[in-house]
């Protein structure tokens, strides 16, 4: 690596990206050309024999790659859950990839490992987590790449804790519990750790519980399983579900989990960020002291570039005894103990892979550059826009809000009175509306299906998204609704 060439190329990329961000709202938000195989046709069949100038590469990015991207950083991206980027997140990411250290062992990069312990404690305190999940209170945290990894790691810890008592054959008896709104990553994780698919209990939710997981139904399922000789293992509660933004009652679920010796995990991938504001803290905080683990993704709504998932556990030993490896070539100060605590953290024992990224520096830069006040303002700006949009939808008699909004996700649909009772036609009308809006390239939203109803989701959270973008998408929706309703003569 030649430092001068490195500086020149890096400046060119930063300039390229600055121009991209200046113009990002001019691209069609969703990739305009959805024909599979388009890029393969544009690119040569094999890698070049000789290196090429960066300018040519960037020119190809501009010409061939950008038109095939969905622009997640567009201020009119309202699909899935947004993936945040920010100047501070980018600066932190540059430091992370620029230094390119690998803090799998404490000794492999002591300051990187220690910064991670500091940053996860800072985050836990900002979100109001109980001290038993923080290093300062006897627990601890780690930065992983995704919630999926966090779920696999905690399921592994719960499984091994149970099997240590029951013997390996008992794996066929282990049962996991979640709701029909829990993210699909949970079932994937359970499959990966060997839970038989017939032992996944998917508890139905309903409008009556705001699509939260009813603790009473979990209790009944758990008692039935225990009476039939199964072993209730793990309960996944969600604060801010993916489809509807629903919140499970963590305290009540935690009480059921405690009574039956189950591991309680709280997945706050999206809405965990909102807990930086006192007015949203209760959702995550109430009952969190009963959780064995909590995770959230700063890369969703906390101005932190992808990827970054915080996972906190109450028993670090449960995690490390399931995930540690101890080959001779990795022995170092972390492997020695003072009392029954390791002298230092070897983060390889807190995750799946050995190699890992220096994510802590990214999150640290974000926390220092915005401060808690800046992060609260970011969350509140989006929630205010979501409230405005929810009110606008509710005031238009052609539309309905499908579930009351809790954070910055609004779930709504067209419901013209002449379609009352005709659900199939109503779904067709809403599908057409969503296709028409996305087809303009001026906004991108995705859908969900609840109680058999097709619902449109407006997920506000992009770092460049302001009230004006939300007002614009509402104008666009109203115009397209007129067209669709006319076509159906409604
Ligand atoms: N859990 C919830 C509630 C989510 O909303 C998501 C993604 O949107 C996930 C889990 C999956 O997160 P990841 O992609 O980090 O595995």
Q: How far apart are CA 295 and CA 267, in angstroms?
A: 5
Residue 395 has pLDDT above 90, yes or no: yes
Q: Is 134 exposed, middle or buried (0-12, 13-18, 19+ CB in 10 A)?
A: buried
Over residues 442-450, mean pLDDT: 98
Is pLDDT above 60 for 159?
A: yes
Instruction: Name the pLDDT band for 490 (thresholds 50, 70, 90).
Output: confident
Give the pLDDT confidence score for residue 331 in this predicted structure: 84
Residue 250, pLDDT score: 98
Confidence of residue 35 (pLDDT cuts 50, 70, 90): confident
Q: Which residues contact 53 (CB under 8 A, 6 or more apart)?
A: none
User: Residues 293-304: pLDDT tens digits?
Assistant: 999 999 999 999
Residue 335 banded pLDDT, cuts 50, 70, 90: low
- SS3 of residue 446 by DSSP: strand
User: Which among 152, 183, 266, 448 is the best mutation to test ligand 1's pocket, defined by most ligand atoms within 8 Å of the CB?
Assistant: 183
ipTM: 0.99
Q: Which atom of ligand 1 is nearest to the CA of 149?
A: 16
Per-residue pLDDT, 32: 77
- State what percent of residues in the chain have pLDDT above 70: 98
Closest protein CA for atom 11 of ligand 1: 147
Mean pLDDT lowest among 52-66, 193-207, 250-264, 328-342: 328-342
Q: Is the pLDDT of residue 334 over 80?
A: no
Q: Which pLDDT score is estimated for 332?
A: 78
Burial of 22 (0-12, 13-18, 19+ CB in 10 A): exposed
User: pLDDT tens digits, residue range 249-266?
Assistant: 999 999 999 999 999 999
80-134 confidence digits (pLDDT tens)? 999 999 999 999 999 999 999 999 999 999 999 999 999 999 999 999 999 999 9
pLDDT-based confidence at residue 424 (cuts at 50, 70, 90): confident
The answer to whether the beta carbons of residues 401 and 456 sit under 8 Å apart is no
pLDDT score, position 300: 98
Report the nearest-CA residue for atom 5 of ligand 1. Answer: 242
- From residue 424, give the alpha-carbon distance in Å to each of 312, 413, 430, 454, 466: 44, 13, 10, 9, 35
Which residues form ligand 1's pocket by a CB distance below 6 Å? 81, 146-148, 183, 185, 238, 241-242, 267, 269-270, 297, 309
Whether this prediction's pTM lies above 0.95 is answered by yes
Measured in angstroms, how far is the CA atom of residue 416 from the centroid of ligand 1? 33
Could you tell which of 242, 294, 306 is best to mutate to test the pocket of ligand 1, judged by most ligand atoms within 8 Å of the CB?
242
Report the alpha-carbon distance of residue 273 to residue 267 in Å, rounded: 12
Cβ atoms of 21 and 463 within 8 Å: the answer is no
- Ligand 1 pocket check: which of 82, 238, 248, 270 to mutate, most ligand atoms within 8 Å of Cβ? 270
Q: Could you identify the residue written with the tokens 């990739």?
A: 31
CA 249 to ligand 1 centroid distance, Å: 19
Q: Among candidates 123, 234, 140, 224, which has minimal Cα distance to 182?
A: 234
Here the tokens at position 351 are 């995750």
Nearest to 236 by CA among 187, 280, 271: 187
How does pLDDT run across 162-207, given as a tens digit for each residue?
Answer: 999 999 999 999 999 999 999 999 999 999 999 999 999 999 999 9
Q: How far apart are CA 46 and CA 190, in angstroms?
A: 39
Averaged pLDDT for residues 226-250: 98
3-state secondary structure of 149: helix
Tokens read off for 329: 């070539």
In this model, does residue 16 exceed pLDDT 90? yes
Considering the chain, what is the average pLDDT of its residues?
A: 95
Q: What does the block give as tokens for 196? A: 């038989």
**pLDDT computed for residue 337 by the predictor:** 60
Torsion of CA 222, 239, 403, 274, to 10 degrees: 170
Q: pLDDT grade, residue 341 (50/70/90)?
A: low
Ligand 1, closest atom to CA 270?
5
- Please compute the mean of the pLDDT values over residues 65-83 and round it to a whole number: 96
Predicted pLDDT of residue 333: 72
For residue 404, pLDDT beyond 80: yes
The DSSP annotation for 380-426 comes to HHHHHHHHHHHHHHHHSTTEEEEE--SSSEEEEEE--GGGTT-HHHH
287: left (phi over 0), alpha (psi -120 to 50) or beta: left
């Amino acid at each position: 690596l030649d430092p001068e060439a490195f500086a020149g190329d890096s400046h060119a990329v930063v300039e390229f990206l600055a121009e991209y961000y200046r113009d990002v709202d001019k691209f069609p938000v969703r990739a305009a050309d959805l024909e599979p195989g388009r890029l393969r046709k544009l690119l040569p069949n094999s890698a070049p024999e000789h290196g090429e100038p960066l300018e040519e590469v960037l020119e190809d990015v501009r010409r061939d790659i950008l038109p095939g991207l969905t622009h997640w950083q567009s201020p009119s991206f309202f699909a899935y859950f947004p993936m945040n980027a920010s100047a501070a997140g980018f600066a932190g990411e540059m430091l992370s990839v620029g230094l390119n250290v690998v803090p799998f062992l404490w000794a492999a990069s002591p300051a990187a490992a220690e910064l991670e312990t500091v940053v996860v404690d800072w985050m836990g305190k900002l979100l109001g987590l109980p001290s038993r999940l923080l290093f300062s209170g006897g627990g601890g945290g780690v930065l992983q790449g995704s919630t999926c990894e966090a779920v696999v790691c905690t399921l592994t810890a719960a499984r091994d804790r149970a099997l240590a008592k029951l013997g390996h054959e008992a794996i066929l008896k282990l049962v996991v519990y979640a709701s029909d709104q829990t993210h699909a990553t949970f079932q994937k994780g359970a499959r990966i750790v060997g839970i038989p698919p017939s032992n996944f209990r998917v508890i139905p939710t309903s409008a009556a519980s705001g699509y939260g997981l009813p603790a009473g139904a979990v209790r009944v399922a758990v008692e039935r399983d225990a009476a039939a000789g199964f072993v209730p293992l793990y309960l996944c509660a969600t604060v801010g579900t993916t489809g509807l933004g629903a919140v499970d009652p963590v305290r009540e679920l935690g009480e059921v989990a405690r009574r039956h010796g189950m591991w309680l995990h709280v997945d706050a991938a999206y809405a965990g960020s909102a807990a930086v504001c006192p007015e949203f803290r209760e959702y995550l905080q109430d009952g969190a002291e009963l959780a064995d683990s909590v995770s959230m993704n700063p890369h969703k709504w906390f101005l932190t570039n992808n990827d970054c998932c915080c996972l906190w556990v109450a028993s670090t030993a449960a995690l490390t005894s399931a995930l540690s490896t101890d080959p001779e070539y990795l022995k170092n100060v972390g492997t020695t103990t003072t009392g029954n605590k390791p002298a230092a953290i070897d983060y390889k024992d807190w995750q799946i892979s050995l190699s890992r990224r220096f994510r802590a520096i990214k999150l640290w830069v974000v926390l220092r550059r915005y401060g808690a006040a800046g992060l609260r303002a970011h969350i509140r700006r989006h929630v205010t826009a979501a409230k405005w949009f929810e009110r606008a939808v509710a005031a238009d008699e052609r539309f309905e809000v499908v579930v009351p909004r809790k954070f910055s996700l609004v779930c709504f649909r067209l419901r013209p009175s002449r379609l009352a009772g005709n659900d199939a036609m109503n779904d067709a009308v809403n599908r057409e509306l969503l296709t028409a809006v996305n087809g303009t390239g001026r906004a991108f939203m995705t859908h969900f299906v609840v109680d058999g109803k097709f619902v449109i989701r407006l997920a506000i959270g992009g770092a460049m998204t302001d009230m004006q973008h939300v007002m614009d998408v509402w104008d666009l929706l109203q115009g397209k609704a007129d067209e669709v309703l006319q076509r159906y003569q409604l």
